[in-house]
Structures are given as structure tokens and as C-alpha cells.
């Protein structure tokens, strides 16, 4: 290829730099490889990732989840703090997998930008790799795309996809949930990756000085907690009847997905302290309690439904694994056609 052709590369002149994509692969290949185990066949660079199911599964059911990080990404870009975004992306997928008891096996990412910033993309993907390791899964592959004209300025977006596996007879369903079962709420690190269109609006409309703004941004950009290793440890030792991942829709919308339709989750809102960032958002956004519990996780990232006789032991186990947790309520008969009530 002549120098003239390289200098007049029509694709580069159109806004897409193939060399930058190759540079990114070079920067991240070791991080990606660090997540691989004996089940991964091949390495980065192929057309597809391959994963061999281990012999530990006798009657395997594959479970798949996909998600993004929403407009939390816009806030992270605005304040030039992308350190936790990779973990957010992984967490939003693997935390969904785990509610049915599935062990995360592998993860793939999609990174699309107007113009590829190699260092920026590398930081995000390195964060994805670390989160995969912390979740016990492999970063099997991904896709990077430059789309000038579709994404504006230096904007980019992320999507993630994860596959897990669970023995068919060990799938966690809600059919075993009964009246008087206990609800254990496992703490969140903040809003996780939900409610950020409202969060950004509140921050933009609130008069705050620079030092307070930094504190608020630090709180809302804390990466989403990764729950798989904790949950897998719990279900290996205890009878966990049902699990709810508290994402978009908060406790109000997510808990009904994890209990039978004729029962109700009764929540004692005084059983845990509303974390600082949620108090700040509620006060400055003038949000009533009903909307807080419908938009945000309010400090509860996961809810376990367990037998009353096991609740204390499970709580102690969660604490021993360095997760905050609270007994936040119980299962009752449905009242006034409501699946969740707050007391």
C-alpha cells in the first residue's frame, strides 16, 4: 500500500479510523485474556467467541440477559469519570442472571462512538474485564463501532450481553414463596444504573457549590455492586425461595416479579436508613415517597425471600461477606389488589 493511499484513506476521511480500532484491540487484549478460563476456546481476534460448558452441569439451562447503563453514561462523560462504567455494564446483566440462580459464564460488550477515543474505550473495557473477574465470568468478546453522524460530537454508547447456566432442578422460581416468609434487603452502592434522567435533571436545576457538586457526583457515579458471588454462596448453603433485583421501577415494580400474584410484599420503610444520596435527591427533586420507591432502589439492590427460621443466619452470612443487609419486611396475603405495601 502506497503512502499516498494511506494519507488519502477514504474511510478515515469519512470519520472512521481502522488503525485506532486495531490500537484498541492491542491495548485491551491482555485484560480480556485475563478473564478467560479453561472453558474459553481461542482468544480475542476471531469472528466469534466460543465457550465449552463444563462437566459440572448435568441438566444445564442457559440463561441470557442484555442491558446498558442508560444516561448514567452521559453523566460520567460530562464529569469525565468513566472509571466505574464498565462495572456498571457488567453488573446490570449478571445481577439479572443471578436472580434465577444462574452462574454467569461469559459476557460480551458493544461500544459504539462517533469517533473512537482509544484511551477512553480502553479504560471502559478494562473496567468490564475487572468486573467479569469479580463476577466469575469470562469476557468472551465484543464489538467496537465508529459511527460519525449517528453519534454526535464525542458521544458514545454501551450495551452488554451475558449468558449464565443453572441446573434445571435448581432454577429459583417464586412458586415456593409463602405467607410469612421474610424479606432481606441487600444494600446498594447508590442509584446503581437507574433513574439517571431524573438525577441529571435534579443536579442541573439545583444550585450547589463546587465542593458539594463533587461529593454528589462521586455518590451518583459509584459503580453498581456485583452480587453473583454473594448469591451463589448463599444458595449453596440456604434455601433462598426467590430473589428480586431492584433496578428500574424500584421496589414497587420489581418485587411483584418475584412473588406469586396472590401475595403481597409488606415493606417496613423504617427498617433501614435511606442513604445520603437518596435523601439529597428526594429533597432537591421534591419527590414524594411513592415516587422514590418507584424510581430508585433507595439503598436496596437485591431482595431475598427466605424462610423466617433461616433469616437471621442468612443475614449473618451476608454481613460476613461484607454486604450491608436488612430484614425489611415479610410476605402477606394480597391487600386492596396491591403487590407491595409500605408501612
Residue 286 has a CB neighbour count (10 Å cut-off) of 8
The H or E element that residue 26 is part of is helix 18-33
140 in the same domain as 20: yes
Domain count, the chain: 2
pLDDT in tens, 73-108: 999 999 999 989 999 999 999 999 999 999 999 999
Contacts of 69 (CB under 8 A, 6+ apart): 85, 88, 89, 92, 158, 193
Contacts of 76 (CB under 8 A, 6+ apart): 82, 84, 85, 221
CATH code for the domain in which residue 152 is found: 3.30.1330.10
DSSP characters over 252-302: HHHGGGGS-TTEEEEE-TTSSPPPHHHHHHHHHHT--HHHHHHHS-TTEEE
215 in the same domain as 106: no
**Where a domain ends, among 119, 149, 170?**
170
The DSSP 8-state label assigned to residue 43 in this structure reads: -
pLDDT in tens, 271-315: 999 999 999 999 999 999 999 999 999 999 999 999 999 999 999
User: Do 129 and 139 form a contact (C-beta atoms < 8 A)?
Assistant: yes
The C-alpha atoms of residue 22 and residue 114 are separated, in whole angstroms, by 17
> Domain range holding 112?
3-170
Q: Is the pLDDT of residue 13 over 70?
A: no
242 in the same domain as 119: no
212 in the same domain as 290: yes
240 in the same domain as 164: no
pLDDT in tens, 111-156: 888 787 778 888 899 999 999 999 999 999 888 888 877 777 778 8
Amino acid at each position: 500500500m502506497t503512502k499516498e493511499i494511506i494519507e488519502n484513506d477514504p474511510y478515515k476521511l469519512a470519520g472512521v479510523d481502522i488503525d485506532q480500532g486495531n490500537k484498541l484491540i492491542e491495548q485491551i487484549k491482555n485484560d480480556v485474556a485475563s478473564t478467560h478460563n479453561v472453558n474459553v476456546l481461542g482468544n480475542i481476534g476471531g469472528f466469534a467467541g466460543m465457550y465449552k460448558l463444563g462437566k459440572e452441569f448435568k441438566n444445564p439451562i442457559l440463561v441470557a440477559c442484555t442491558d446498558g447503563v442508560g444516561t448514567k453514561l452521559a453523566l460520567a462523560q460530562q464529569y469525565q469519570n468513566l472509571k466505574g462504567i464498565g462495572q456498571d455494564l457488567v453488573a446490570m446483566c449478571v445481577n439479572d442472571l443471578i436472580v434465577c440462580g444462574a452462574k454467569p459464564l461469559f459476557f460480551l460488550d458493544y461500544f459504539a462512538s462517533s469517533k473512537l477515543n482509544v484511551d477512553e474505550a480502553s479504560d471502559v473495557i478494562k473496567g468490564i474485564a475487572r468486573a467479569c473477574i469479580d463476577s466469575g465470568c469470562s469476557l468472551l468478546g465484543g464489538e467496537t463501532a465508529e459511527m460519525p453522524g449517528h453519534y454526535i460530537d464525542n458521544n458514545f454508547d454501551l450495551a452488554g450481553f451475558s449468558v449464565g447456566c443453572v441446573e434445571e432442578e435448581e432454577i429459583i422460581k417464586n412458586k415456593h414463596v409463602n405467607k410469612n416468609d421474610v424479606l432481606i434487603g441487600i444494600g446498594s452502592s447508590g442509584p446503581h444504573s437507574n433513574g439517571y434522567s431524573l438525577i441529571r435533571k435534579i443536579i442541573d436545576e439545583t444550585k450547589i457549590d463546587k465542593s458539594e457538586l463533587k461529593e454528589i457526583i462521586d455518590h451518583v457515579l459509584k459503580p453498581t455492586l456485583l452480587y453473583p458471588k454473594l448469591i451463589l454462596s448463599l444458595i449453596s448453603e440456604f434455601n433462598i425461595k426467590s430473589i428480586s433485583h431492584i433496578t428500574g421501577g424500584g421496589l414497587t415494580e420489581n418485587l411483584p416479579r418475584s412473588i406469586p400474584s396472590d401475595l403481597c410484599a409488606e415493606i417496613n420503610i423504617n427498617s433501614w436508613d435511606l442513604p445520603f444520596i437518596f435523601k439529597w435527591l428526594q429533597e432537591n427533586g421534591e419527590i414524594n415517597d411513592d415516587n422514590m420507591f418507584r424510581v430508585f432502589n433507595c439503598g436496596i439492590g437485591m431482595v431475598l425471600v427466605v424462610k423466617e427460621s433461616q433469616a437471621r443466619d442468612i443475614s449473618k452470612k451476608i454481613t460476613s461477606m461484607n454486604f450491608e443487609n436488612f430484614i425489611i419486611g415479610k410476605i402477606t396475603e394480597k391487600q386492596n389488589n396491591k403487590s407491595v405495601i409500605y408501612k
